[in-house]
Structure 1
Amino acid sequence: MFPKPKPQLTPNTYAFESEPMVKATGFREYDARWIFGKEINVMGVQALGMGLGTLLKEMGKPQEIVTGHDFRSYSSTIKMALVSGLMAAGCKVHDIGLALTPMAYFAQFELDVPACAMVTASHNENGWTGVKMGADRPRTFGPDEMGRLKEIVLNAAFDLAGGGSYVFVENFPKRYIDDLVKDRAIKRPLKVVAACGNGTAGAFAPEALERLGVEVIPLDTELDHSFPKYNPNPEDMEMLHAIRDAVLEHKADVGFGFDGDGDRCGVIDEKGQEIYADVIGVMLARDLSKLHPDATFVADVKSTGLYQTDPVLKENRAHIDYWKTGHSHIKRRVTELNAVAGFEKSGHFFFNPPVGRGYDDGLVSALAILEMLDRNPDKSMSDLRGELQKTWQTPTMSPHCDDEKKYGVVDKVVKRFEEMHANGEKVAGQPISELVTVNGVRVIAEDGTWGLVRASSNKPELVVVIESPVSEERMREMFKAVDGVLRENPEVGDYNQSI
């Protein structure tokens, strides 16, 4: 009988090497993330594999699964521990080796395998590990599946029938890139910076983009799991500034920044200006709505208000659905509504056919942007951006808040704004016109300036975003007001970045 995981064990002891350790907070809303060695150990990962195999059987799914790993020094070790647990639970495991997360999603279609378990901590700092899972392509696990998986693992309620097997799929990246570029070519001569932050995308992104017919300027594409330059996160200003410098130096038409596991893409225009992902989403929605009138687009609740006010989207009768933040939530919503695309402010984009298969893939996002430029041969990225109404928006800002406390803090913040709204109090000097509480709280002032507070699903942090269609001053006033409500809670710490 496999023992119940412990929440904490001391390293360099017999117990640490002989018992599973799994911290409960690692089971997030739609994937799993732990600090390896502090919150989960190798046997804990093995327990996770046993739990996942048990859950697949409980869900009535075939016990067959794709797995891969990102480029961190410990990821292959973690993957093989996961594989041993999956096999103990009776699963046939298809291992695609070093991979981007969207490669694992693609493998579910290409290999006709129902489930996937991709070992990655995405853009999290070194020391973190995690697993992105799904059993109903193209969707990934949400709160219900993650909650049940947590119960199974922490209670060691495993069904260890055995009989599992293992197969390594050779040269799978070639199949992925061949499919990505099949029947696609960019006719317009374009020069593109491809920045990968020394993460996994560096092994694949330059080749894929070159095969589309564009000139590629590789930036930090050498694999280095210490991430010596900056964190491979397209919301990180250091990464965006590095791309800006390369774009200006090489006179590129566009700069792309891919995150650690390649499912997100950040964008810099030819003038070196970053274009936030939600604004890129509006630009792509405008372009796609011309091809698909009456289309539905999904945007997460952190995203710009331009989706609702843009005249081109209105002219093309586009339907906009604001939904919960999180790649699993948006992915499911795009599938449920048969939307043409879904856009998340963090840079997760989801395209249904003919552009994609419904899952998030940074290279597919880059392809969609290149095709948009191809369809507008006389316009630059800044021209297309300039056609939108100007707004003043903060980057995504994340004050520290412990995993055990962050949801309670958000509940208090929501209640505080609800009380202000009910009592007719003003926020940032104006009446509150609307509160959106589908995911945390988005407080909207009378002039359209808004601020969002929600709990991060990946890290011990809150998430704060502010936007104003009026002025930078109004944006800063709203930030001050929102931060003032946050500071009523002593559990809230310092920001990772701020304005």
Structure 2
Amino acid sequence: MFSLPQPALAPNTYAYETQPLVKPTGFREYDARWLFGSEINLMGVQALGLGLGTLIHELGVRPDIVVGHDFRAYSASIKHALANGLMAAGVRVYDIGLALSPMAYFAQFALDVPCVAMVTASHNDNGWTGVKMGVNRPLTFGPDEMSRLKQIVLSGADVARDGGGYRYVPDFPEVYIRDLTDRPKLNTRIKAVVACGNGTAGAFAPRILEALGVEVVPLDCDLDFTFPKYNPNPEDLEMLHAMRDAVLASGADVGLGFDGDGDRCGVVDNHGEEIFADKVGVMLARDLSVLHPGATFVVDVKSTGLFMTDPVLIANGAKADYWKTGHSYMKRRVNESGALVGFEKSGHYFFNAPIGRGYDDGLVSAIAILDMLDRNPGRSLAELNDALPKTWSSPTMSPHCADEKKYGVVDAVVRHFETMAASGATIDGQKIRDLVTVNGVRVTVEDGSWGLVRASSNKPELVVVVESPISEARMRDMFRLVDGVLRAHPEVGAYNQSL
């Protein structure tokens, strides 16, 4: 139907307007991300839709798909181009309009539609676009599906078919809101700062939480696709600091922050302390393991070691399963293992029944945190946090590394630490206690301090996290040592944030 996609085209040319532009690196491990305009154009998005529709038929899945888009200046036009390609492939499109990613996942269940394609760049800066896709609810694509989709699109193996169609689903957010709020209100009076970074969640989060009886203090909830104050990413310190200031100024019990497409939730306690999502996960696991003794929790490799060592979790018979970082990997592991919840340090939480449907939803996560506070009357979030064994953890730090280079760098770092472990070499005089190489490398030494290096799945970056149960100094030692290994590779650039 289209000419073969090109990896690069000069803008403002005849070729740019008549040929699909699709940079191959945009097909990532479990979703797709491109800089709109320079790495993909609208014809390229149509080619992507045609390829996705071809893959749906190839997999033998009923060719019905939910589409939605986040709040960026260009997302609606990208969604319609994607829908055109899907319809050309003989797929029936159900358009729910402006939406959160979890709203699109929910629509698969509510509308009984097997497939989903959510147009969102998630927490990426403006200029980025992307698509989160799935054909087997509640799962989203993994490397096998993404590899096949890439092959179909770039080789021109996509096939036009009859039978496509389009249906706009009016007022679908109301169905989603009812699903989350059709339950008893909280018994405890809770005041919460609700921060949305002017992203899509601002249209929905305050209303949902108010319906549960929360006194909402809105922070940057007006939609503005220029993101005038900070990028809506509750893992970035800039957003967390804004939440901290609002909590302290308002006397709120908690700060809840949502990313650009609403599938993640970040937390600040009543003292204004920024609690990384993995530590919030430990608190939730403590609370839920009382209700569900012996529960299994899947945890990504960036997360704190407390899931394995916390005495309360041990006493409650909870089991930890450390797994690959990434919403697709985590979703699949949680669903296949029957775990109660999956926790990612980035703030993606995956609640299985009876709490959720297995996909990541920042509002479901926020409600779980509020329910935890409601079940612990008289104990503040700061007190629940202080009750955890003390560890010193870094934020997620991301040095730049080109998509074409990052996996090679990580492979070299893995080999470096494997060689050290095999030879009995020490790190700061301590032997290597454990290496986890399921996703990059997580190296743990004798005193429990650890450092992680992995490739980002959706940006030209590496990911670095360090933690120590001993002291802040030991955490910084681990960062110095890990960073020293990275600095042997000139392909590794500056960090987005650092210690």
Alpha-carbon distance in 2 for matches of 1:106, 1:185: 22
What amino acid does structure 2 have at the position aligned with 1:430? Q
Q: CA RMSD in A?
A: 0.6
What amino acid does structure 1 have at the position aligned with 2:178? D
What SS is found at the alignment partner of 1:201? helix
What amino acid does structure 2 have at the position aligned with 1:286? R
2:151 is aligned to 151
Alpha-carbon distance in 1 for matches of 2:136, 2:107: 13
1:3 is aligned to 3
What amino acid does structure 1 have at the position aligned with 2:445? A
What SS is found at the alignment partner of 1:414? helix
Alpha-carbon distance in 1 for matches of 2:187, 2:179: 19
Report matched runs for 1:89-128 at 5 Å. Answer: 89-128=89-128
What SS is found at the alignment partner of 2:34? strand
Alpha-carbon distance in 2 for matches of 1:161, 1:238: 48
1:346 is aligned to 346
CA deviation map 1:47-83 (0-9, x unaligned): 0000100001111100000000000000000000000
TM-superposed deviation, 1:99: 0.3
Report matched runs for 1:25-64 at 5 Å. Answer: 25-64=25-64
TM-superposed deviation, 1:181: 1.1
What SS is found at the alignment partner of 2:3? coil
Report matched runs for 1:259-408 at 5 Å. Answer: 259-408=259-408
CA deviation map 1:123-161 (0-9, x unaligned): 100000000001111110000000000000001101211
What SS is found at the alignment partner of 2:21? coil
TM-superposed deviation, 1:255: 0.2
Instruction: Give structure 1 regions of 4+ aligned residues with deviation exceeding 3 angstroms.
Output: none
What amino acid does structure 2 have at the position aligned with 1:194? V
Gap runs ≥5 in structure 1 = none
Alpha-carbon distance in 2 for matches of 1:34, 1:289: 40
What SS is found at the alignment partner of 2:72? coil
CA deviation map 1:332-382 (0-9, x unaligned): 000001111000010000001111110000000000000000000010001
TM-superposed deviation, 1:423: 1.4
1:84 is aligned to 84
Normalized against structure 1, the TM-score is what?
Answer: 0.99
CA deviation map 1:95-115 (0-9, x unaligned): 000000000000000000000
What SS is found at the alignment partner of 1:399? coil
TM-superposed deviation, 1:229: 0.3
CA deviation map 1:173-203 (0-9, x unaligned): 1110100111232110000000000000001
2:206 is aligned to 206
TM-superposed deviation, 1:162: 2.5
1:421 is aligned to 421
Alpha-carbon distance in 2 for matches of 1:399, 1:465: 11
Normalized against structure 2, the TM-score is what?
Answer: 0.99
What amino acid does structure 2 have at the position aligned with 1:82? L
Tell whether 2:449 aligns with 1:430. no
What SS is found at the alignment partner of 2:447? coil
Alpha-carbon distance in 2 for matches of 1:481, 1:440: 16
2:166 is aligned to 166
What SS is found at the alignment partner of 2:20? coil
1:233 is aligned to 233
What amino acid does structure 2 have at the position aligned with 1:178? R
What amino acid does structure 1 have at the position aligned with 2:45? V
CA deviation map 1:408-429 (0-9, x unaligned): 0000000011111111111233
**How many pairs does the alignment contain?**
499
Alpha-carbon distance in 2 for matches of 1:191, 1:367: 13
What SS is found at the alignment partner of 1:132? strand
TM-superposed deviation, 1:163: 2.1
What SS is found at the alignment partner of 1:467? strand
Alpha-carbon distance in 2 for matches of 1:422, 1:46: 50
Alpha-carbon distance in 1 for matches of 2:397, 2:440: 15
Alpha-carbon distance in 1 for matches of 2:46, 2:450: 44
Alpha-carbon distance in 1 for matches of 2:162, 2:238: 47
Alpha-carbon distance in 2 for matches of 1:43, 1:187: 52
Alpha-carbon distance in 2 for matches of 1:222, 1:192: 17
Alpha-carbon distance in 1 for matches of 2:439, 2:171: 41
CA deviation map 1:404-462 (0-9, x unaligned): 00000000000011111111111233111111000000000110000000000010000
What SS is found at the alignment partner of 2:470? coil
2:258 is aligned to 258
What SS is found at the alignment partner of 1:466? strand
2:453 is aligned to 453
Alpha-carbon distance in 1 for matches of 2:187, 2:429: 51
TM-superposed deviation, 1:218: 0.4
TM-superposed deviation, 1:19: 0.2
What SS is found at the alignment partner of 1:71? coil
2:464 is aligned to 464
Alpha-carbon distance in 2 for matches of 1:68, 1:187: 35
What SS is found at the alignment partner of 1:252? coil
What amino acid does structure 2 have at the position aligned with 1:114? P
TM-superposed deviation, 1:38: 0.6
